[in-house]
Structure 1
C-alpha cells in the first residue's frame, strides 16, 4: 500500500528530530572528551609528568607540639626544644644498608644507632619512616641535607623534643617522656597513628604519663613529592596539628628547689601542703636524677649507677614509700581514744619505762620512764607507755578508723606513679591477709606507729594538715589544664570534737616549744611563725632482750640500712595554720635530731615565701644556720616569661 505524501512528511520529520538528538549527544561526548583531554594534557601536565618519571605523592603525619608544664607562678618546668634528626623510609631507600654506609661516612653513627635502625627496618612496615639519629648539630644536619641526592629515602627533619630546665628538682613529680615501645603499643586497643612516628615521645612516668592524652595533642599532615630514588622533591601542602594542652601544677618551683637542696644526699622525702586548699607546694624525694638523661637516651653506665645505688634515686619515696610512722602516729591513737571516751584530757598514766603484757615487756624509749603523764605531756615527751595503755582501751578497729579519717591508709588520686595506699590495719585485715587472729600485742605496737602500720610521707603531710585545720583536706597537684583551673571545693569538717583536736594541737605545740619537748632544739622563736609538730623514730630491726640488758646499740654504730627511720610532721603558724610538712629520712636515726631540723627549715621557707629571717631561729643556732644556707647549692631560677602561660 502506497503511503500518502502527508505520512511521508511526518516520517521525515521524526527521522530528522532523532538525527538531531543523536548528533547532539555525539557532539556533547566529543566536547567532553576534548575538555578532559585538555585538562589532562595541559592543566595536569606537571602531575602526570611526575607520575611518568615514577615520582609519587605521600602523606606524612606531623607531630604536634607537646603541652608545656608550669609551676604555680607560671615558670616552665617541662618545655620543648628544637631537635634536628634524620629518618629513613626503607621502601624509598632501595638498599637501606648501602644508604646507611653512605650516611655513616658523613656523620658519626654509633653501633647502637645502626643496630637499632636495622632492627626497626626488619620489624616495621617498609612504608614507615624510621629514626636513624636525633639531636644532631646544625653542621651535621646541613651536611646530610646537602648530600640528600645520594641518600635515597633519607629525610632531614626539624622537630621538638622534651626538656626539663629544672633538672632533678621535679624528676619524681613530672616523670619523663621516651620513645614509644612495643610494650606501650601492646597496652592500647586502638593506638593513635601518632605513635607510629619515628621516636615519637610519650609520657613514661609521673604527670607526663598520667596526663598523656591532654599533653600529646593531635597530629597534622603534610603532602610531599618523592621521586623514584626516594628523595623528597618538595612539599605540596601542610596542615598543622593541634598542640597539647598546657598544664599548671600547684607546686612552687623555688620552694621545691629549696626542699630538694635541703634534703641533700640523704635517702629522704618531704611534702609541703597548704592546709586550706590542699595544694601541694612541694613534694620531693632524694636523691633524685636528671630526667633529661632518659629523654636523650640514657647510657648503660648511667642507668646502672642509678639502679645500683642503695639510696634508690629512681624511687619516689614521697608517694611510693610506705614506712612505719613511729611516734608521729600517736596523734591518731590519741584522737581515737579521746573520741571513744576511754581517756580524759587530764587523766594520767603511770610510765615506769615499760608495760607488762603477760610474760612480755613493751618498753618505752626512755628506759627510766616518764612517771605520771597526761595527754599533752605524752605528746610533748612522746611517752610510749601512755599509748600502749590507751591503745588497749580503745582497740585497733577504732584506731584504724581514725587513721583513715586522717588520711593514713588512703590512696590519694594524684597524677603520680605507683602511689602507695599505706596501711591502717584492723582485725579483719589480719584475718584476710594472714589467716590469724589479731593479738593485743599487735594493738600495742600499732598504738605507737609500729607493727603493721604503714604510711607514706604524703599521707603524713595530709594527716598533719587535717589535724591543723580540722577539715578533710584533700591533696591537689593540678592547678589548671588548658587554661581552665581545676575546681577546689572547701574541705568538709572532719567531725572530730574541736576540744579533742585543740588538746592534740597543744601537745604538738609543746613538742617544739616546751623545754622537755622532743623537738625543742628545732623550735622557731619568732612568735608569728611558731610551729607545732611531732617527732617519730621507727625501728627497722628487732631489739632482743639480751641487747636491752647490755644496752641498745646506737644507730651510729649500726650499718646504714639497719638504722631507724627518722620522721617529723608539723604545721604552722600555730595561731592560724596554713602550711603542713612531713619529712622522712630513711635510716636517719632519731626524728628529733635528724628529721625535725629539716622540717623546721622547710616550713619556715614556705611560711616566709622565701628565705626566712635568721631571727626566726634560736640565737645559739643562727651562725650555724647561716653557714648551712651558704653551703646549699640552690638553682638560680629566672622569672617566668609568660610564654604559653596558664591564666589560672
Structure 2
C-alpha cells in the first residue's frame, strides 16, 4: 500500500520527537558524568590524593623522654638510659609467627619471650610496633640488622629505659615504672594513644604513678615514606613531642641513704620533716627492695621472695602502715585538757598502778605505780593513769578533735601510694562502723593511743612538727617541677594557746633530758642540739588477768609478731626546732630501747648534715656508736663519706 504524504510527515515528526528525547537524555547523562568527573577531579582531589599518599606514607608516634627525678641537692634518683630494642610491626611482617621463628634463629629468644610478644601483637593495633626483645647487646643487634631482608616487619631501635641509680634507697618513695597493662587502660576513660604502644612504660606506684602525667610528657609524630613491601624509605616530616617534666623532690639522698642503712636490720620506718618548710627530707621503710627489678618485668622467684617475707618489704610503712600510737599520743590528750581549761600543769593525779573505771581495772605500764604526778612528770615518766584520769574529764570527742588539729586522722597530700588516713575515733564513728555504742572504756584506751586509735609514721612526724612550731605544718615531697617551686608546707599558726604548747614542749624536753625521763638513755649532749621527744609502746595483744597475776611475759620471750610496737617522736634543736622525726619499729618492744636510739641517730645525722661527732653522744655510748658508724659506712656504698673517723 502506497503511503500518503500525510503519513510520511507524521512518521517523520514522531521520529524527530524520539530523537530529540534520546538526545536530551544523552545530553543529561553526559552533563552529569562531566559534573561528577569535575567533582572527583577538582573538589575531592585533596581527599583522593591523601588516600593515595596513605598507601606509601605512614604516621608514627614518637614516645617522649620521661621526666627525670632528683633530690633536693640535684642528685639523680630516676633517669633514662639508651637501650637497644628489637621491634616488630604486624602489618609489615605478614606471617608473624614465621618471622618470629626466623628471628629466634638469629638471636637467642626463649619460649616465654616469644609467647609474650605474640600475645602483645594480637592485642595491639596492626601498625603499632611491639617490642620483642629489650636491652639487646650489640652483637644481637648487628645480626638482626644483617638479616633484615629475611625479617619483614622487624627493626632494631634505640629506646629509653628507666633506671634507679640509688637502687633500694628510694623504692618506697619513687616506686617504679612498668609496661602498660590492660588493667591500667581499664581505669582510664580516654587513654592517651601513647599508652596503647606495647610495653610503653608508665608509673605503677609511688611518685612515678602519682606524678605520671607530668613525668610522661606528650608524644611527637614521624611522617615516613614506605615502599610496596612496607619498608621505611625516608622520613618526610617530624613533629617533636614534649618531654616529661623533671621533678625535684624534697628528700636528701645522703640522709635517706643513712636512714635506710640505720633501719636495715629492722621491720621499721622513719620520717624526717623540716619544721620550717614541711619538706620531707627523709621518708624510709625497711626492709626495702630494688625497683630496677620491676622495670622490665620481675621474675617469679624474685617476686615470691618479696611477697613471702614477713617483714613486708613491698609495703611503704611510712604512709601505708597504721599503728596504735601508744604513749606518743599522750600530748594530744593533755592538749585537749589544757585547751578546755580542765587542768593546770601543777595539778596532780595519784597513780597506784591502775585506775578502776566501770568495774574494770586499767593498768599503768609500771605495776607499782608512779605516785602523785603532774603534767610534766606524767609525760616524763609516761604514767598511764594520769591520762586515764584526763580522758574521763575531757571525753573522746575533744580528744579526737585535738588529734585532727595536729594532723592525726587526716590523709596528707603526698604523692605516694595508698596514703593512709589513720583513725581518730568518735562515738558516731563506732556506731556507724561497728553498730555499737561508745563506752567509757573506749575513751580510757584512746587517751594513751590504744584501742581504736591508729596513726601512720608520717602523721606522727607531722604531729611532732606542729607541736614544735605551733603551725599547721604540711608535709611536702615535691619541691619543684621543671624548676618551678611548689607551695611551701610551712602552714599557719594553730588555733591554740601558745602557752599550752610551750608547756608540752617543756614536758617533752624532760622526757629526753631529765634523769627520770623514759628517753634519757637516748639524749643528745651537744650544746644547741638537744632534742625533745616522747617514747611510745603500743600493744598488739591482750594481756589477761591471769598473766598479770603471774607476771607479764617479756617481749623478748614472745614470738616476733606478738611483741609490742616501739615508737619515738622528737624535734631538735629543742629551743629552735629544725627537724621533727618519727620512728616506728614493728614488734620492736619498748619505745625507749628500740625506737629512741634510732631516732636520736637519725636526728643527729640530719642536724649535722652527715656523720655527727662522737662528742654529741653521752660518753658511755661513744665506743658503741663509733663501731656502729664504721659498720654503717660499709653498708652504704652510695654514701658521700669523707672516710675520716669522728672524734
When normalised by structure 2's length, the TM-score is 0.89
- Cα separation, 1, equivalents of 2:143 and 2:254: 42
Question: Secondary structure of 2:389's partner?
Answer: helix
Instruction: Give the deviation of 1:238 after TM superposition.
Output: 2.8
> Conserved in 2, the CA contact under 8 Å of 1:77 and 1:166?
yes
**CA offset digits 1:611-646 (Å, max 9, x no partner):** 11110000110010010111111133579xxxxxxx
Distance of 2:369 and 2:520 partners within structure 1: 19
For 1:284-336, what per-residue CA distance to the aligned partner results, in whole angstroms no more than 9, with x for missing partners? 11111111110021000000111111111111100011100000000111111
Aligned-partner SS, 1:527: coil
Inter-partner Cα distance in structure 1 for 2:303 and 2:110: 18
SS in 2 for 1:271: strand
Separation in structure 1 between the aligned mates of residue 200 and residue 222 of structure 2, nearest angstrom: 17
In the aligned structure 1, how far is the partner of 2:110 from the partner of 2:226? 28
State how 1:284-363 maps to structure 2 within 5 Å.
284-363=284-363
Q: List per-residue Cα deviations over 1:190-220 (Å, max 9, x = no partner).
A: 1111112231111111111111111111111
1:109 and 2:105 matched: no
Instruction: Please state how far the C-alpha of 1:255 moved relative to its aligned partner.
Output: 0.6
Shift, 1:555, TM fit: 0.7
Question: What's the counterpart of residue 576 of structure 1?
Answer: 576
Aligned equivalent of 1:475 = 475
1:26 corresponds to which residue? none
The answer to whether the 8 A contact 1:87-1:198 is kept is no
Shift of 1:490: 4.5
Matched residues, number: 593
Q: Answer yes or no: is the 8 Å Cα contact 1:90–1:153 preserved in 2.
A: yes
1:498 offset after TM fit, Å?
1.6
2:83 is the alignment partner of 1:83 = yes
2:99 matches 1:99 = yes
Call closer, same or farther: CA 1:108–1:623 in 2, change over 3 Å. Answer: same
Unmatched runs of 5 consecutive residues or more in structure 1: 1-32, 37-46, 640-648
Q: Which residue is equivalent to 2:436?
A: 436
Distance in 2, matches of 1:60 and 1:491, equals 48
- Name the structure 2 match of 1:273: 273
Which digits, 9 at most, give the CA deviation of each residue in 1:400-449, with x for residues without a partner? 01000011101011111110001111111111111211111001100000
Mapped contact 1:349–1:386 kept (Cα < 8 A): yes
Number of the residue aligned with 1:380 = 380
Once residues 637 and 534 of structure 2 are traced to their aligned partners in structure 1, the CA distance between those partners, rounded to angstroms, is 31
- The aligned residue for residue 150 of structure 1 is 150
The answer to which of 228-237 and 186-195 deviates more is 228-237
Pairing 1:506–2:506 present: yes
Name the SS for the 1:234 alignment partner.
Answer: strand
Question: C-alpha distance in 2, partners of 1:513/1:223?
Answer: 72
After superposition, residues 252-263 of structure 1 pair within 5 angstroms as 252-263=252-263
Contact 2:166/2:638 (<8 A) preserved: no
Are the counterparts in 2 of residues 154 and 230 from structure 1 also a CA contact under 8 Å?
no
Which position in structure 1 is the counterpart of 2:448?
448
Q: Which residue of 1 aligns with 2:637?
A: 635
What corresponds to 1:41 in structure 2? none
Matched position secondary structure for 1:184: helix
Q: 1:232, CA displacement in angstroms?
A: 3.1
Given that 2:83 and 2:136 are in contact with CA atoms closer than 8 Å, whether structure 1 keeps it comes out as yes
| Runs of at least 4 residues off by over 4 Å | none
> Counterpart in 1 of 2:74?
74
Query: Please, what is the CA RMSD of the aligned residues?
Result: 1.9
Q: Separation in 2 of the partners of 1:307 and 1:243?
A: 35
Decide whether the 8 Å contact of 1:154 with 1:231 is kept in 2: no
Q: Please give the alpha-carbon distance, in whole angstroms, between the structure 2 residues aligned to 1:83 and 1:236.
A: 25
Q: Which residue of 2 aligns with 1:365?
A: 365
- 2:250 is matched with 250
Check conservation: 1:148, 1:231, Cα contact below 8 A.
Answer: no
> Residue 495 of structure 1: CA displacement?
2.0
Distance 2:311 2:489 in 1: 38
CA contact (8 A) 2:124 2:198 kept: no
For residues 444 and 215 of structure 1, what CA distance do their matches in structure 2 show? 48
- In the superposition, relative to structure 1, how do residues 490 and 302 fare at CA in structure 2: closer, same or farther (>3 Å)? closer
What's the CA shift for 1:184? 1.0
Map of 2:461 onto structure 1: 461
Q: Secondary structure at the match of 2:320?
A: coil
CA contact (8 A) 2:468 2:577 kept: yes
Spell out, residue by residue over 1:52-83, the C-alpha distance to the aligned partner (whole angstroms, 9 max, x if none).
9x983221111110011110011110110011
- Counterpart of 1:487? 487
Whether the 8 Å CA contact 1:151–1:231 is kept in 2: the answer is: no
CA distance in 2, matches of 1:220, 1:262: 45
Tell me the SS of whatever aligns to 1:204. Answer: strand
Matches within 5 A, 1:392-431: 392-431=392-431
* Maintained 8 Å contact 1:155/1:232: no
Q: Which sits farther off after the overlay, 187-196 or 59-68?
A: 187-196
Deviation at 1:343, TM superposition (A): 1.4
Residue 642 of structure 1 corresponds to none
Contact 1:223–1:235 (CA<8 Å) still a contact in 2? Answer: yes
CA deviations over 1:552-590 (Å, ceiling 9, x no partner)? 111111111111000000000011011000000111111
8 Å contact kept, 1:325–1:567: yes
SS at match of 1:132: strand
Q: Secondary structure at the match of 1:368?
A: coil
Distance 1:308 1:492 in 2: 44
